Amino acid sequence: MHSLSQEIQGFSKQRLKKQSTRVTTVTGRKLLERRSDGGEGGEAVEQVEELQEEGGGSSQDAAHDVDTLQRFKVSHVLNVAYGVSNLLPDQLVYKTLQILDLPDTDITSYLDECSSFIDQARDQDGVVLVHCNAGVSRSSSIVIGYLMLREELSFDDAYDQVKQARPSIRPNPGFYQQLQNYKH
């Protein structure tokens, strides 16, 4: 019978699986980390590459791009990201709700407050940018909910309309189900 220490000493690095891990940073950057052992006697090498979102940049990028904000005449910003600051608090009207992109977060509990802010902007003939970190889950869920609540669209119609405007949307499974079941 081998002792644990003999087993550990006899274990070969070549038997380890190559590992890659997808990481989304707090700021919404998507990274792919790969670890390899570097060959015979070599040191472990870690490679990190940035993954590009399909369909363009993140909504956080748009919220921090003054030229884009001015070009689209944005007057109001609904920031539903976690830990993302507001760029122009003296020039634009902001509402910030730090929503976590987790399937068990109750996204529908934010819809009344978010919809009221969007309505306020529309009443003032304003243009609203709704953003989170990547512009994939939280912001799209809020806009889908808004269309269901204020425009009385079905979930499928609201989802299709938002998907047409931003093809990269992908509400997390919890948000998707909550919105499908949402009764207003």
Residue with tokens 């000493």: 9
The residues, ordered by sequence, that sit 6+ positions from 145 with a Cβ below 8 Å of its Cβ are 107, 108, 111, 114, 115, 158, 179, 182
| φ, ψ dihedrals at 71, nearest 5° | -60, -40
Residue 16 has pLDDT above 80, yes or no: no
72-96 pLDDT, tens digit per residue, is: 899 999 999 988 888 888 999 999 9
* pTM reported for the whole predicted model: 0.67
Q: Note the pLDDT of residue 102.
A: 93
One of 63, 78, 128, 132 is an active-site residue; which one?
A: 132
Q: What is the per-residue pLDDT for 129? A: 92
Q: 92-105, pLDDT tens digit by residue?
A: 999 999 999 999 99
Catalytic site residue 132?
A: yes
Question: Domains of the chain, with CATH numbers?
Answer: 12-51 (no CATH), 59-180 (3.90.190.10)
Looking at residue 113, its pLDDT comes to 97
When comparing pLDDT for 131 and 34, which is higher? 131
